[in-house]
Amino acid sequence: MARMSSAPAGSRRDQIVAAAAELFARRGFHGVGIDDIGAAVGISGPGVYRHFRSKDAVLGHMLVGISEKLLAGGQARTAAAGDPAEALRALIRWQVDFALDHPALITVHARDLANLTETDQRRVRRLQRAYVEVWVVAIGRTVRPAGGAGTGPDQAGLRAAAHAVLGLINSTPHSAVLDRPSMAALLERMAYAALTVPGW
């Protein structure tokens, strides 16, 4: 494989994380060695240690990073929306795009969270809870009429709905059988319809 030693450090770290995500998704965290990751980006296994102290650190950087990205993106999109329904649609679109564009990361996140260090697990779970709360607020503002405090589902119901719809969208590594635009449109319609169906 051609070496890429001229790549700047920042992009090399990104290359290592992207290659590791693909390898972890295919083989599982424990099925991948540091030499495999290095070979995937054209450097030696020990060369990876110039960028990450260990394979655990690669996984931690990967999963903390995507959790931070999802939270920041969700917050930005809901803040920029003109009304509650638009905010919910923007949030759904953000998650759908992420899931369709990064299926390996979705797979690794679902399967290898337990392989993080305890510190990184706590960080990821804290970020995940904050991201779910962005969804809870967006769903609540959409399914409850203006001024309708106390009507509609309670916080536990909103949180359960958020987790259910995230599960639907994040199933795409296993269910994305249509072309990307068609799959994105289908997921967006299904998620919005599920969250706004009357009577729940």
Whether residues 192 and 110 fall in one domain: yes
Residues of the chain with pLDDT under 70: 1-10, 145-152, 176
CB-neighbour burial class of residue 172 (10 A; exposed 0-12, middle 13-18, buried 19+): buried
Whether residues 46 and 62 fall in one domain: no
Q: Are 192 and 92 in contact (CB under 8 A)?
A: yes
> What is the predicted pLDDT for the residue at 6?
38
Whether residues 10 and 102 fall in one domain: no
Whichever domain contains 43, its CATH number is 1.10.10.60
What is the secondary structure of 157-191 as a DSSP string?
A: HHHHHHHHHHHHHTTHHHH--S-HHHHHHHHHHHH
From the list 187, 193, 194, the residue with the least C-alpha distance to 171 is 187
Task: Please state the domain count of the chain.
Answer: 2
**Residue 120: strand, helix, or coil:** helix
Whether residues 125 and 182 fall in one domain: yes
> What is the predicted pLDDT for the residue at 2?
33
Whether residues 46 and 135 fall in one domain: no
> What is the predicted pLDDT for the residue at 1?
33
Whether residues 180 and 140 fall in one domain: yes
Whether residues 15 and 94 fall in one domain: no
Whether residues 117 and 182 fall in one domain: yes
Whichever domain contains 73, its CATH number is 1.10.357.10
Whole domain around residue 33: which residue ranges?
1-52
> pTM higher than 0.85, yes or no?
yes
Whether residues 78 and 1 fall in one domain: no
Whether residues 42 and 74 fall in one domain: no
Q: Please give the Cα distance from 28 to 114 (Å, whole number).
A: 12
> What is the predicted pLDDT for the residue at 30?
96
Give the tens place of pLDDT for each residue, 11-44.
899 999 999 999 999 999 999 999 999 999 999 9
> What is the predicted pLDDT for the residue at 135?
98
> What is the predicted pLDDT for the residue at 59?
98
> What is the predicted pLDDT for the residue at 11?
86
Per-residue HEC secondary structure of 13-31 comes to HHHHHHHHHHHHHHHCHHH
Whether residues 108 and 168 fall in one domain: yes
> What is the predicted pLDDT for the residue at 153?
73
